Homo-oligomer: A and B are copies of this chain.
Amino acid sequence: MGYSKQRELVKAIVASSCAHPSATDIYLEARKTIPDISLGTVYRNLSLLSQSGEILRIPVDKGDRFDKTTCCHAHFCCVKCGRVFDVPTDGMAALADRICDHGHDVKRTTLLFEGVCKSCAKSDE
Contacts and interface: CB of A to CB of B under 8 A. Distances in A.
A112 interface: yes
Contact of A107 (B93, B109, B114): B114
A60 interface: yes
A1 interface: no
Please state the number of chain copies in the assembly: 2
A112 B114 CA distance: 14
A74 interface: yes
A76 B113 contact: yes
Contact of A72 (B61, B76, B89, B109): B109
A114 B120 CA distance: 31
A87 B93 CA distance: 15
A115 B59 contact: no
A118 B106 contact: no
A51 to B, nearest CB: 11
Interface string A75-112: 11111110101010100110110010011111111111
